[in-house]
């Protein structure tokens, strides 16, 4: 099953079980329904489903207004860069809303456009920034297990959060992985266990971690592999225990943000450990970064393995 | 006036007032009380009592009292940084608001909101924003929530001539109209945004034509007549409900508290618009009239009561306020 179909089926299952949820956004029940992401949601939703005008700033405010009136909602958005127009509401309105304890849920569900070919605009892969600017809960997901766990636990629950996945995964087959452990509140998941190295992936970079793990395995290096799904929290006790055991840490983070949650995590690691080896793989920003180009990280996996084991 | 004439006059007041004006006298009292309360806030502000910025609304009393009078249980109000008139008239007391400005725990919002974001859900003031245009979308969402919850209330969103320059104003109007949501958008047009007049900062916005382009009803209110405002606001509310549509009400008003700065550069005095902070030339007085024209809601009250009657009411309300704060 394609990943977009899988996410769509999870959304349907979850929305079907939650009556009186308002679903809204541009084209969510028309045309391609956001490339299939929201197709058929209106048929299972007992609440209201609205195709809205192109008014992102106001639509974020609408979600908060619904929340004040004790009505839960999900705002679907084709591209995360559209959400820049709603920053005033995300910061200023949420700073008021958070003073109470809202019983209603408000979730914004944008797709992170991470292919890169869109050019200087429309290729915003900066989830960390949205979450950081007002301390907003945010979750990204990339595969069958984390998507299922996060949508079922976070899509509709009291409070406000942003959920997102990468556009580059949507038309691919759903990635199936065995989950060995998970952090509180879906903050992270562990997919591999090893004694030699700890690999921690952030944002949408789990696929790189899987590739690296595979190459390490071929070279007889046993690595633990984690993916951090939250974009605000940096305390992960289980990961910290693993790092204490291996003393070797590889961080992979494909965000374009300069406000990386992985940097804050690394600072936390160093406050508790003296690492024997540490390799950080993040995205260099050059002039080229703003031209239409492949947005994938260019990683020399063999060199990374050399650096960490020697 | 002879003693007999005085006696006859008092009889007229105390015999006829209950019959003719009891319904209306409370409206007049609220307008005077709102002014007196704000003058007290201003005096304390001048004394340096508050750390939070307060935007007084002297001159805005009539519309606040009219909206308060027509709001029903299921109606709700969304305000801006200049919200003192609505918060005070909804409370009917001053102490809680003053305590909020002092950021005390027993303030209206436990000292957590200060002035520019002061709301009071218990009195149907559901949200207040200090960001220009920010409260409009939130009000839209609340109105949509009313639809979902089958609550037939009307959402009143107060905004200003500055905020209608923001995209959120148009977006919100479009959203309300597209979804047939009953809402009254009240544009308090005081001609000023900070220190610039409309003509100094932008082209004219013909709100009537803008409303017409979206098939939205529009009404202009001016003159500060309390009963005219109340009657028309009630009709606008009914229109919003009956047509399941937004209505725009533009209220022409003057934010009083302005003064003239005289110095070597401006020997004849330079007009300084009141935007926020203490109004330096406003002082406590027996009847706190600030302008002898229809710009001042207290001046307009002369149509309905004599000077003596207004002074008497003002004195009584002043006494009550002092009692409350003592």
- pLDDT in the model for residue B2: 47
Burial of B257 (0-12, 13-18, 19+ CB in 10 A): buried
How does pLDDT run across B153-171, given as a tens digit for each residue? 999 999 999 999 999 999 9
Tally of structural domains, chain B:
1
In angstroms, the CA A50 to CA B180 distance is 13
On whether the CB atoms of residues A78 and A33 are closer than 8 A, the answer is no
Considering only CB atoms, which chain B residues are within 8 Å of A66? 141-142, 144-145, 148
Looking only at the bridges linking them, the beta strands covering A181-182 and A197-202 are: unpaired
- pLDDT in the model for residue A287: 80
- pLDDT in the model for residue B18: 52
In angstroms, the CA A89 to CA A101 distance is 18
- pLDDT in the model for residue B13: 53
SS3 B159: strand
Interface of A with B in 47-66 (CB under 8 A): 47-48, 50, 52-53, 55, 57-66
In angstroms, the CA B124 to CA B127 distance is 9
- A309: pLDDT confidence band, cut at 50, 70 and 90? confident
In angstroms, the CA B96 to CA B143 distance is 28
Q: Is residue B11 scored above 80 in pLDDT?
A: no
Mean pLDDT of all residues in A47-75: 97
Interface of A with B in 2-31 (CB under 8 A): 20, 22
- B15: pLDDT confidence band, cut at 50, 70 and 90? low
Strand (E) or helix (H) holding B251: strand B246-252
How does pLDDT run across B214-265, given as a tens digit for each residue? 999 999 999 999 999 999 999 999 999 999 999 999 999 999 999 898 889 8
- Taking CA atoms, what residue in B is nearest to A92? B131
Closest CA to B153 of B136, B135, B139: B139
- pLDDT in the model for residue B186: 98
At CB < 8 A and 24+ separation, what contacts does B312-320 make?
B313/B25, B313/B28, B313/B29, B313/B32, B314/B32, B314/B36, B314/B286, B314/B287, B314/B288, B315/B286, B317/B29, B317/B32, B317/B33, B317/B36, B318/B36, B318/B286, B320/B33
Q: Is residue B4 scored above 50 in pLDDT?
A: no
Q: Compute the count of residue pairs across chains A and B with CB atoms less than 8 Å apart.
A: 107
Q: What are phi and psi of B219, to 5 degrees?
A: -145, 140
- B119: pLDDT confidence band, cut at 50, 70 and 90? very high
- Report the share of chain B in percent with pLDDT over 90: 85
- pLDDT in the model for residue A295: 86
Tell me the nearest-neighbour CA distance from A91 into chain B, angstroms. 11
Q: Is residue B6 scored above 70 in pLDDT?
A: no
Mean pLDDT of all residues in A233-240: 88
Q: Is residue B12 part of a domain?
A: no
Tell me the nearest-neighbour CA distance from B289 into chain A, angstroms. 36
- The answer to whether the CB atoms of B134 and A93 lie below 8 A apart is yes
Q: Which of A48, A55, A66 sits opposite B171 (nearest CB)?
A: A55
In angstroms, the CA B141 to CA A98 distance is 17
Q: Is residue B278 part of a domain?
A: yes
How does pLDDT run across A167-207, given as a tens digit for each residue? 999 999 999 999 999 999 999 999 999 999 999 999 999 99
Instruction: Return mean pLDDT, chain A.
Output: 94
In angstroms, the CA B298 to CA B307 distance is 11
- The answer to whether the CB atoms of B138 and A64 lie below 8 A apart is yes
- pLDDT in the model for residue B86: 98
Closest CA to B133 of A88, A120, A117, A33: A88
State the CATH number of the domain containing residue B70: 3.40.50.970
Output the six-digit token pair for B93.
């007391």
Strand order in the sheet with B155-160: B125-128, B76-79, B155-160, B183-189, B246-252, B217-221
CA B152 to chain centre: 24
Interacting residues of A288 by C-beta distance below 8 A, sequence separation 6+: none
In angstroms, the CA B118 to CA B137 distance is 18
- B14: pLDDT confidence band, cut at 50, 70 and 90? low
SS3 A277: strand
In angstroms, the CA B251 to CA B294 distance is 13
Q: What's the pTM? A: 0.93
Q: Is residue A103 scored above 60 in pLDDT?
A: yes
* Euclidean distance between the first and the last CA atom of chain B, given in angstroms as a whole number: 37
In angstroms, the CA B124 to CA A64 distance is 16
Longest dimension (CA), chain B: 65
Looking only at the bridges linking them, the beta strands covering B125-128 and B270-272 are: unpaired
Q: What are phi and psi of A127, to 5 degrees?
A: -55, -40
Q: Is residue B9 scored above 70 in pLDDT?
A: no
Output the six-digit token pair for B19.
């019959």
How does pLDDT run across B47-86, given as a tens digit for each residue? 999 999 999 999 999 999 999 999 999 999 999 999 999 9
Considering only CB atoms, which chain A residues are within 8 Å of B140? 58, 61-62, 65
- pLDDT in the model for residue B19: 47
B183 vs B19, residue with greater confidence: B183
- pLDDT in the model for residue B12: 53
Q: Is residue B13 part of a domain?
A: no
* Euclidean distance between the first and the last CA atom of chain A, given in angstroms as a whole number: 41
Instruction: Return mean pLDDT, chain B.
Output: 93
Residue A101 at interface with chain B, using a CB cutoff of 8 Å = no
Q: Is residue B16 part of a domain?
A: no
Beta bridge partners of A76: A109
Weakest-pLDDT range from A108-122, B29-43, B107-121: A108-122
- Taking CA atoms, what residue in A is nearest to B110? A99
To 5 degrees, how large is the angle CA B259–CA B262–CA B263?
A: 150
Burial of A130 (0-12, 13-18, 19+ CB in 10 A): buried
CA B144 to chain centre: 25
- pLDDT in the model for residue A214: 97
Domains, chain A, with CATH or none: 3-170 (3.40.50.970), 181-309 (3.40.50.920)
The rounded radius of gyration (Å) of the Cα atoms in chain A is 19
Q: Is residue B265 part of a domain?
A: yes
- The answer to whether the CB atoms of A58 and B168 lie below 8 A apart is yes
On whether the CB atoms of residues A160 and A137 are closer than 8 A, the answer is yes
On whether the CB atoms of residues B187 and B248 are closer than 8 A, the answer is yes
Output the six-digit token pair for B142.
């609340």
Q: Which of A50, A57, A64 sits opposite B168 (nearest CB)?
A: A57
Closest CA to A90 of A264, B162, A82, A101: A82
- The answer to whether the CB atoms of B145 and A64 lie below 8 A apart is no
Interface of A with B in 69-88 (CB under 8 A): 69-71, 88
Tell me the nearest-neighbour CA distance from A160 into chain B, angstroms. 14
Q: Is residue B312 part of a domain?
A: yes
In angstroms, the CA B319 to CA B298 distance is 18
- pLDDT in the model for residue B22: 72
Output the six-digit token pair for A66.
């619904």
Considering only CB atoms, which chain A residues are within 8 Å of B127? 65, 68, 93, 96
- pLDDT in the model for residue B224: 98
Closest CA to B64 of B208, B255, B320, B304: B255
- A122: pLDDT confidence band, cut at 50, 70 and 90? confident
On whether the CB atoms of residues A134 and A88 are closer than 8 A, the answer is no
CA B260 to chain centre: 24
Tell me the nearest-neighbour CA distance from A55 into chain B, angstroms. 6
Q: Is residue B208 scored above 90 in pLDDT?
A: yes
On whether the CB atoms of residues A194 and A224 are closer than 8 A, the answer is yes
Q: Is residue B22 part of a domain?
A: no
Tell me the nearest-neighbour CA distance from B119 into chain A, angstroms. 10
Considering only CB atoms, which chain A residues are within 8 Å of B134? 61, 88-89, 92-93
Q: Is residue B207 part of a domain?
A: yes
Instruction: Please give the residue range of the domain that contains residue B300.
Output: 32-326
- Taking CA atoms, what residue in A is nearest to B78? A65
In angstroms, the CA B18 to CA B41 distance is 32
Beta bridge partners of A218: none
How does pLDDT run across B125-155, given as a tens digit for each residue? 999 999 999 999 999 999 999 999 999 999 9
Q: Give the total residue count for chain A.
A: 310
Longest dimension (CA), chain A: 59
How does pLDDT run across A10-42, given as a tens digit for each residue? 999 999 988 889 999 999 999 999 999 999 999
Burial of B2 (0-12, 13-18, 19+ CB in 10 A): exposed
Tell me the nearest-neighbour CA distance from B165 into chain A, angstroms. 14
ipTM: 0.92
Question: CA torsion sign, A166 to A169 to A174 to A176?
Answer: negative
* Token pair 């992270």: residue: A188
Interacting residues of A82 by C-beta distance below 8 A, sequence separation 6+: A56, A110
Q: Which of B141, B148, B151 sits opposite A48 (nearest CB)?
A: B148
Burial letters B186-216, b for 16+ CB under 10 A, else e: bbbbbbbbeeeebeeeeeebebeebbeebeb
- pLDDT in the model for residue B234: 98
- Report the share of chain A in percent with pLDDT over 70: 100
């Amino acid at each position: 099953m394609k990943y977009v179909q899988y996410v769509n089926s999870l959304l349907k299952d979850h929305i079907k079980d939650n009556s009186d949820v308002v679903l809204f956004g541009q084209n969510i029940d028309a045309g391609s329904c956001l490339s299939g992401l929201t197709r058929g949601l209106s048929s299972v939703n007992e609440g209201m489903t609205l195709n809205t005008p192109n008014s992102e700033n106001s639509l974020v405010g609408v979600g908060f207004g619904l929340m004040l009136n004790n009505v839960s909602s999900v705002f679907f958005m084709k591209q995360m860069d559209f959400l820049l127009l709603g920053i005033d509401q995300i910061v200023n309105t949420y700073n008021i809303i958070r003073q109470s304890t809202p019983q209603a849920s408000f979730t914004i569900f944008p797709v992170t456009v991470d292919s890169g070919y869109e050019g200087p605009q429309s290729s915003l892969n900066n989830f960390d920034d949205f979450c950081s600017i007002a301390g907003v809960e945010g979750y990204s997901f990339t595969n069958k297990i984390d998507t299922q766990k996060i949508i079922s636990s976070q899509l509709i629950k009291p409070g406000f959060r942003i959920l997102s996945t990468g556009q580059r995964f949507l038309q691919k087959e759903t990635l199936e992985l065995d989950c060995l452990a998970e952090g509180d509140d879906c903050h992270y998941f562990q997919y591999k266990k090893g004694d030699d190295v700890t690999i921690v992936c952030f944002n949408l970079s789990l696929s790189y971690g899987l590739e690296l793990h595979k190459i390490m395995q071929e070279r007889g290096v046993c690595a633990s592999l984690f993916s951090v799904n939250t974009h605000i929290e940096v305390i992960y006790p289980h990961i910290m225990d693993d790092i204490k055991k291996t003393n070797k840490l590889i961080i992979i983070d494909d965000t374009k943000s300069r406000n990386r949650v992985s940097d804050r995590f690394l600072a936390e690691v160093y406050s508790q450990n003296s690492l024997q080896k540490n390799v950080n793989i993040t995205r260099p920003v050059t002039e080229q970064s703003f031209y239409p180009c492949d947005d994938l990280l260019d990683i020399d996996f063999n060199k990374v393995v050399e650096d960490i084991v020697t | 006036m002879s003693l007999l004439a005085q006696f006859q006059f008092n009889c007229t007041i105390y015999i006829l007032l209950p019959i003719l004006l009891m319904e209306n006298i409370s409206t007049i009292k609220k307008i005077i009380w709102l002014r007196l309360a704000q003058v007290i806030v201003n005096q304390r502000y001048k004394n340096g009592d508050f750390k939070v910025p307060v935007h007084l609304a002297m001159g805005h009393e009539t519309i606040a009292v009219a909206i308060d009078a027509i709001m029903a249980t299921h109606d709700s109000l969304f305000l801006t940084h200049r919200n003192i008139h609505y918060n005070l008239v909804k409370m009917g007391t001053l102490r809680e608001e003053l305590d909020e400005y002092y950021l005390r725990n027993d303030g209206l919002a436990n000292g957590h909101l200060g002035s520019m974001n002061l709301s009071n859900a218990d009195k149907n003031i559901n949200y207040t924003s200090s960001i220009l245009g920010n409260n409009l979308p939130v009000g839209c969402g609340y109105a949509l929530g009313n639809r979902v919850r089958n609550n037939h209330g009307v959402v009143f969103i107060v905004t200003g001539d500055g905020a209608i320059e923001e995209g959120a104003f148009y977006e919100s109007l479009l959203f309300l109209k597209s979804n047939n949501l009953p809402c009254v958008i009240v544009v308090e047009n005081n001609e000023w945004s900070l220190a610039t007049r409309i003509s100094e900062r932008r082209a004219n916005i013909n709100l009537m034509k803008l409303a017409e382009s979206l098939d939205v009803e529009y009404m202009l209110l001016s003159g500060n007549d309390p009963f005219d405002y109340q009657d028309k606001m009630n009709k606008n509310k009914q229109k919003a409900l009956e047509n399941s549509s937004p209505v725009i009400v533009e209220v022409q008003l003057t934010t009083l508290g302005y003064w003239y700065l005289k110095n070597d550069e401006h020997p004849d005095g330079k007009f300084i618009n009141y935007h926020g902070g203490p109004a330096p030339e406003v002082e406590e007085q027996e009847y706190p009239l600030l302008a002898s024209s229809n710009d001042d809601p207290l001046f307009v009250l002369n149509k309905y009561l004599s000077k003596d009657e207004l002074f008497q009411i003002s004195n009584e309300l002043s006494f009550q306020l002092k009692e409350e704060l003592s």
